[in-house]
Amino acid sequence: MDKIKMTTPIVEMDGDEMTRILWQMIKDHLLLPFIDLNTEYYDLGLEYRDKTNDQVTVDSANATKKYKVAVKCATITPNADRVKEYSLKEMWKSPNGTIRAILDGTVFRAPIVVKGIEPCVMNWKKPITIARHAYGDVYKGSEMKIPGTGKVELVYTAEDGSETRELVHSFNGPGIVQGMHNLNDSIESFARSCFNYALDTRQDVWFATKDTISKKYDHTFKDIFQEIFEADYADKFKEAGITYFYTLIDDAVARVMKSEGGYIWACKNYDGDVMSDMISSAFGSLAMMTSVLVSPDGDYEYEAAHGTVQRHYYKHLKGEETSTNSVATIFAWTGALRKRGELDGNAELAAFADKLEKATIDTIEAGEMTKDLALITTIPNPTALNSEEFIKAIAKRL
């Protein structure tokens, strides 16, 4: 069999610990035998990040702007323990944070639906994708404890020195206060990312805020989404047979619970934080989630939603057997390969991505899976495989 050719490289961001081990196994067993893999390789493993003073992370993000498609392995975000463990020069920033700051995007997370790993919500037949705005609101808030009687105001000082004031509250006793903000530019790019992703995946978009109560703050989110939709997306949505639906956040929650799934739920930062954990746990496992960062320029960075699975890595180092679920990392690769195929008009490459995903799902549905899934599956007598056996079982089907 001739290997599938690639015309443009994918940006490959290698990572840390157990996921770095899985990364190599996936390449060896599932990719290299079938594809003339064309990647521009960046080692985001902590040692090399430290060696390059984290320049490699910045370079990998800039390469993503150049080539449009990246696939990223999970990486360690160093804390004090890691600084000691790896004798780091500095407590380097989160690579995901650095990459997001350069690409400026929205993170989309969707469960990978498999028969035998059933959602707790029985009417959910299709995945629900959470699109989380990753800037501002309470995550960039400033807060005060008010000790007693006094007045709190919001003050905007314009460049010419003129002031606009708005009373928050006249306190007669102790209390608390919080100020937060967002930026029209950031909300606009959030909206565009959601609408582009919807066209890409042919799914409806739901968006919700509390604009009836927050008549300026939340209402601005609602208005910006509506303006951008009408100006640039209404026709394309009609053509694609999909819709944009806005409602209040409490109404959205009620509708989500009663829905069949199969749409993108755009969430403000805090709503996305809370709701994505609800959706992922209700669908089964973090290792069964896809995650992709989409920039407003149409750059795509695919990753797994989980971390480097440190506890399994230490077992692996001791020579003990591990049973680490590689599905999310495999789907990061297939996401990137399919997107590369689409952008380059390389149908064979996109078709390969579909086949690899199907082989992965078929393997689990045939009862062969890693331990984390074997513990929760409704399939009778599942076979719990180790990390490498699972990948080899997929290779056999592929």
By the 8 A CB rule, do 18 and 65 touch? no
Binders in 273-292 for Mg ion, by CB under 5 A: 273
Closest contact distance (angstroms) between CB of 386 and ligand NAP is 12
Closest-approach residue to ligand NAP (CB): 307
Residue with tokens 């790993």: 117
Residue 49-78 contact track with ligand NAP, rule CB under 6 A, x = bound: -------------------------xxxx-
Number of residues that bind ligand NAP (CB under 6 A): 17
The answer to whether residue 84 forms part of the interface with ligand NAP (CB under 6 A) is no
Binders in 236-275 for Mg ion, by CB under 5 A: 273
Question: Distance (Å, rounded) from C-alpha 307 to C-alpha 103?
Answer: 21
Residue 69-88 contact track with Mg ion, rule CB under 5 A, x = bound: --------------------
Judged by beta carbon distances under 5 to 8 A according to partner kind, the member of Mg ion, ligand NAP, none in contact with residue 273 is Mg ion
- Nearer CB in complex with Mg ion: 278/359: 278
The terminus-to-terminus CA distance of the chain in angstroms comes to: 13
* Angstrom distances, CA of residue 389 to CA of 156, 327, 361, 362: 61, 13, 15, 15
Closest contact distance (angstroms) between CB of 100 and ligand NAP is 11
20 in a known ligand binding site? no
Closest contact distance (angstroms) between CB of 239 and ligand NAP is 35
202 in a known ligand binding site? no
Judged by beta carbon distances under 5 to 8 A according to partner kind, the member of Mg ion, ligand NAP, none in contact with residue 279 is none
- Nearer CB in complex with ligand NAP: 73/252: 73
Closest contact distance (angstroms) between CB of 274 and Mg ion is 7
Cβ neighbours, 10 Å, residue 234: 14
Judged by CB under 6 A, the residue of 38, 226, 247, 310 near ligand NAP is: 310
By the 8 A CB rule, do 392 and 44 touch? no
Residue 308 phi, psi dihedral angles, 5° rounding: -85, 5
Task: Write out the two tokens for 264.
Answer: 């993108």
By the 8 A CB rule, do 134 and 143 touch? no
- Nearer CB in complex with Mg ion: 91/274: 274
Judged by CB under 6 A, the residue of 12, 137, 303, 357 near ligand NAP is: 303
Question: Distance (Å, rounded) from C-alpha 265 to C-alpha 247?
Answer: 11
The answer to whether residue 286 forms part of the interface with ligand NAP (CB under 6 A) is yes
By the 8 A CB rule, do 264 and 108 touch? yes
Judged by CB under 6 A, the residue of 287, 337, 385, 391 near ligand NAP is: 287
Judged by beta carbon distances under 5 to 8 A according to partner kind, the member of Mg ion, ligand NAP, none in contact with residue 308 is ligand NAP
Residue 318-347 contact track with ligand NAP, rule CB under 6 A, x = bound: ------xx----------------------
The answer to whether residue 297 forms part of the interface with Mg ion (CB under 5 A) is no
Q: C-alpha angle with apex 114: 108 to 116, nearest 5 degrees?
A: 140
- Collect all residues with Cβ–Cβ distance below 8 Å to 50 and sequence separation of at least 6: 86, 88, 89, 90, 92
Residue 204, Cβ density class (10 Å: 0-12 exposed, 13-18 middle, ≥19 buried): middle
Question: Distance (Å, rounded) from C-alpha 360 to C-alpha 281?
Answer: 21
132 in a known ligand binding site? yes
Residue 292 phi, psi dihedral angles, 5° rounding: -140, 135
What CA dihedral angle connects 364, 379, 366 and 373, to 10 degrees? 20
338 in a known ligand binding site? no
User: Which stretches of 50-199 are assigned E, i.e. beta strand?
Assistant: 69-72, 106-111, 129-132, 142-146, 150-157, 163-171, 175-179
**Binding site residue list:** 75-77, 82, 94-100, 109, 132, 250, 258, 273, 307-312, 325
Residues in the site for ligand NAP, rule: CB under 6 A?
A: 74-77, 96, 286-287, 303, 306-311, 324-325, 372
**Binding site residue list for D-threo-isocitrate:** 77, 94-100, 109, 132
